[in-house]
Every structure is written in C-alpha cells, then in structure tokens.
A and B are shown apart, each in its own frame.
Chain A
C-alpha cells in the first residue's frame, strides 16, 4: 500500500487499496474483524499518561486559543429558538467581545430547522454552519427520511453535516448497510456547484460497547468517505472519553498511512473544562501528529467548554481569576 495524493474533495468512497473490502458484506466483515484488537488496559493507561502532561504559560495560551478556534458551538435542545441560535452565532464570531484578539470558533452546530437562522447570522464571518441530520440523535428512521433530512439541511445552507450511524445495524454485524447508508448520506450532501458539504459521522461510542467496535466503526466510516469521525451525539452517557478519542486518533493516523487521505476527529459531549480540552490537544499531537492540530482536522463539540476556555483566557491575560458572571452562560 502506497500513499497517494489526497484529493481535496474525497469524491470516491473507499480509496483503491480498500475497495475490495467494501465489495460485499462478507469481505467488509473480514476486513473489519481483521483489524488488530485494541489493548484496553494499554489504551486507557496511555490516555491517562498523556493527561498528566503539564502545559504552562505560553504553551497554555496557545492551546487555549487553538481550542477556542476548534469549538463547534452547539445547541441541540428541543427548546432551541431562533433567538438562541442568533445569540449563539454572535458568540461564535466574537467569543470575548472585550478582546479583539480572541479567535472565533470553528462552527455553530444546530438542528436542521435552525440552519437558516444560523446562516443568516453568520454570513461572511468565516464561521461554518454545521447541522445534525439523519434523525439525530437516535438515527431510527427510514433511509429516505434521513436523506431528506440531510438534503433539507444542505439546501438551507449548512456547510457541515453531522450524521449518526445506524448503531443497531452495526452491532448486529450488518456493516455493509451502515457503509451504504453513509455513502448515500454523503451523496445527499452534494451541492449544486459540484462541491459537497463536509460530512461528520457520529459513531456514538457510548453505545458501541468495546474499543474494538470503536476502531471498526472508525474505519468503516472513513472507508465510506467521512470527512470527520465524531465520538458522540452528546445525548448518551458516556460521551467522549480520552481513551475513545485515542482509539479514533489512531484510526485516522493509520488510515492516512494506508491511503494518504486525512480524516478529521471530533470528540463531543462531556468536555467541559480547559484542562480536558488541553489533554485532548496533547493527545492529538502525540497520537495523530501536529497535522491534526488545526480546526480543519480536529474539533470539539461543546457548549459550556467555550465559557471555561474564555475564563482561562481572561485569567492568562489579566492575571486574575474570572467568574461565570463575565461570560455568556447559555
């Protein structure tokens, strides 16, 4: 297997070396079950070990700013309103209105019916609009409903789609169904101008039971053409944990070695503190490599994390501790 030049847009699903694997259900199962197993104790120990790195002063300031620029500022509640989405969009563009040097977040992530409001509020700002789709968060709907959901969001102007995989199909071993569904959703992400909305595939690792399954689901999603693999919907506990993100980072690293194509990673749910975010960044650098230390390749799906990052940033710039009275808690 030799690395090939990665095309900017991953039009073909599985790249040549892996095409055989997706030719039939049996072949796909053989391939996924042929992936080396994850050493559970080793993965957890490695994640815990990387979490003890001490990041101070200038490095910490860099990490905080980088983490802010990687946040997908998310609101996925039944109670979301147009006003809340507009407020969140304003916060995404200027997270700290008192400090112009504070970077904007990467994206705002909303339900499909809220996309037009987010697009409106973010026009020209460079902040992306991400939308969950495919009957989020359970994914329990017919394929044509999921595809309609996706097309709806894309037509409304979302440039990133967060889809959920069919965990039921995955856990019962119907890997090709999962694969084909991702491919179909990816086609539904196509834009009239020939480009395509970026597709993030949510594995919902809290429902996958084992790290081996996380590794298999990661490869499956990447072979189906995912631009990003994302841990969780945030609606299931446990959500993103360090060992799960570690396994996924190993998967994207190995996938690039095998195919030359780079895929992003997005942990989501349960990351609330700056310390958690910095631990993730350390792990990205050590496991996947510095190429992934970029909002195009690594994101945090979070809402309250941004508030803690801003409080830490204020602490670093003013030398005194800030409090929740000084950020827009939402």
Chain B
C-alpha cells in the first residue's frame, strides 16, 4: 500500500502561534515553473491589527532584555537555521528554480547575516552612542534605544531578503510585523517555525502572508506602529502613498532602494529604527 503524503498547511505566524487568517481566506502559491505548490493564508487587515497588538505586547519584554541576551537569541536563530539548511535549500530551489549551489549560497548568506547582526546587538551602542563633549559641568551621553513596533514589507528574496530585513530590526530590541513577499510566502512561514523554536519570544516577529497592497496601508496608517520599512514595495506610487499614510503619527520610514542582498550590509538597517536618548548628568559631588 502506498503512503499518502502529509502535506503542510502554511498558516500565519502571529504572537508565537500559527493561526489561520481571521478571514478564512487563502491563495494558491506557484513554484518557479508555474505549477501549483501549496496554499498560503491570505491575511486581512484584522490579522494585521492582531499582529500589531501581539508585537506591542512583546515589546516591553524584548526591549528590556540586555543587548547581550538579544544577540544570543538572534545567534540561536542562526543555529537552528543551520540545522534545517537542507529544508531551506529545497524550498528555495522549488520557489525560485535555482541550482543547488546557488540555493546553498543563499542559505549560507542568510545564516551568516543572522550571526553578523547577532554580533552587533551589544556593540551598536558603543558605535552610535557615547559621551558627548559639552561646555558645562555635565556628563552628557547618548544611547540608542529601539523605536517600538516596526512594520516590515519584506522584499522578494524568499529567505536572504527576509532575514536581511528582519534581523536588524529585532537585534536592536524592536518587535516587528512582517508582510512576506506575496509570490514567495512559504519560506517566510518556515522561517517562522525556526523563530518559534529558537527562544525568540512570542510576538517579537509576526509574519503575515497575503496581498501587500491590501495589508500595507493599514499598517502604514496604524497609530500604534512606530516605523515602517518599505523595502519590499516595488511600485513607487504605492511607496509614496504609504509614506504619506505613515506621516500621521510621524512614523520612521525606510524608503525602498535597490539592494544587493549578498553584500555585507551597513549599520543603516539598524540605525533607521532607533531613537537616541541623551542624558545630562551633573558631574562630581
């Protein structure tokens, strides 16, 4: 007797759990050759709302951890990803139709990217903060702090692109709501499984799959979202409209730009989502 395949139901990753979309909708995802691959959840604005609530709830705990500990957790994500590299290589080949060696390059780069940002977690403050010289009897110093809940519109790269936009946001203590690439949502959910099993607290990363043009405006105008990363928005007109919607509560906005995901990133993906706290302290006794 032949065995029936056990197929995975790809759902959302929200508040540490994997629920279906509140709307009950789904959409078909195709592989690189245009054949049906699987169904993904088609998230609605209410899923986005729930994700923001989950991210906000997780923010105090996550931002309150020591930078050292956050670095350990991000490193742990890299460890778990390393142990599942075969699965990710296979998914990338199906999704993008690339060769095995190319897929390996992307998975390696994604793991290395996580380790790179994990290392920055407890070093960034020394680089972008520090003591300021002032003309008075004060000690004056500045320290970077996470801005809060960041909405991330992920780029098309199913794994490397996604990791490259999520890791810098969480390494500094923000929590995020990620709208995965619409044509490549499945790897994002598999990455959610990695997050869920690697000590990332529930709600720190929330992954929504579905139409970006339907979900993004709600996140851009949401008054409880502190920043938005528009990297994955391809249409300049849509990016402009999202930026306008984001202005209502003065969100930090990162505009889309062409990026080479294999190149070593700069610090800007981290510093874009930080606030600077400056403290004046009287010196001496």
Which residues of A does B touch, CB under 8 Å?
A: 319-326
CB distance from A314 to the nearest CB of B (A): 8
- The CA-CA distance from A258 to B19 in the complex, in Å, is 47
Q: Given contacts A323-B225, A325-B223, list 12 more A-B pairs with CB under 8 A.
A: A319-B221, A320-B222, A320-B248, A321-B52, A321-B218, A321-B221, A321-B223, A321-B224, A322-B223, A323-B222, A323-B224, A325-B224
What is the minimal beta-carbon distance from A101 to any residue of chain B, in angstroms?
A: 20
Please report the total number of B residues contacting A with Cβ < 8 Å: 11
- Chain B: minimal CB distance from A246 (Å): 25
Residues in A whose Cβ lies below 8 Å from that of B56 = 323-324
- A189–B225 Cα gap in the complex (Å)? 49
Does B49 sit within 8 A of A, measured CB to CB? yes
Asked if A320 and B221 make an inter-chain contact with CB atoms under 8 angstroms apart, the answer reads yes
B46 CB, nearest partner CB in chain A, Å: 10
List, in ascending order, chain A residues with CB within 8 A of B245's CB. Answer: 320
| Residue from the list A319, A321, A325 in contact with B49, Cβ < 8 A | A321
Contact check, A322 vs B224: say whether CB atoms are below 8 A apart: yes
Beta-carbon contacts under 8 Å, B220-267 to A: 221-225, 245, 248
C-alpha spacing A35/B245, complex, angstroms: 59
Q: How far is the CB of A305 from chain B (nearest CB, A)?
A: 16
B13-65 interface (Cβ within 8 A of A): 49, 52, 56
The residue on A at minimum CB distance from B220 is A320
**Could you pull out 25 A-B pairs where Cβ atoms are within 8 angstroms?**
A319-B221, A320-B218, A320-B221, A320-B222, A320-B223, A320-B245, A320-B248, A321-B49, A321-B52, A321-B218, A321-B221, A321-B222, A321-B223, A321-B224, A322-B223, A322-B224, A323-B52, A323-B56, A323-B222, A323-B223, A323-B225, A324-B56, A324-B224, A325-B224, A326-B223
Contacts of A319 in B (CB 8 A): 221
Q: Which residues of B contact A322 (CB under 8 A)?
A: 223-224
Q: Which 7 A-B pairs have the closest CB atoms?
A: A323-B224, A320-B221, A321-B222, A323-B223, A322-B223, A321-B49, A326-B223
